[in-house]
Amino acid sequence: GQQLNQSPQSMFIQEGEDVSMNCTSSSIFNTWLWYKQDPGEGPVLLIALYKAGELTSNGRLTAQFGITRKDSFLNISASIPSDVGIYFCAGRNYGQNFVFGPGTRLSVLP
């Protein structure tokens, strides 16, 4: 079945630094989603991408739909303590359900 890989698995950064993470797939997708999950909560949708090459921003967050359609990237600028959490990518192709990656755990040091 489809599998997603997320990199890095975890990261520790200083407050104010920029963050980059990515998600890769073994197959082509037509939709990518990025979610953030806080401890004890369900995932919250951050950004949705529907077209190869698309670049979409949501505040300090920017995500891109890779041109190969097998990857997606999420960047966070000027990180703050509340950015701490686990970031999941999810992707799907036509007529299929979303598959989730294993997540990138972000820790922000003051």
Using CB under 8 A as the criterion, which residues of the chain lie in contact with another protein when the complex forms? 4, 31, 33, 35, 40-45, 48, 88, 90, 97-98, 100-103
User: Shortest approach of another protein to residue 85 CB, angstroms?
Assistant: 13
Q: 3-state SS string over the chain?
A: CCCEEEECCEEEEECCCCEEEEEEECCCCCEEEEEEECCCCCCEEEEEECCCCCEEEECCEEEEECCCCCEEEEEECCCCHHHCEEEEEEEECCCCCCEECCCEEEEEEC
Q: Which is nearer to another protein, 42 or 59 (CB)?
A: 42
Q: Which is nearer to another protein, 40 or 110 (CB)?
A: 40
User: Shortest approach of another protein to residue 41 CB, angstroms?
Assistant: 6
User: Shortest approach of another protein to residue 86 CB, angstroms?
Assistant: 9
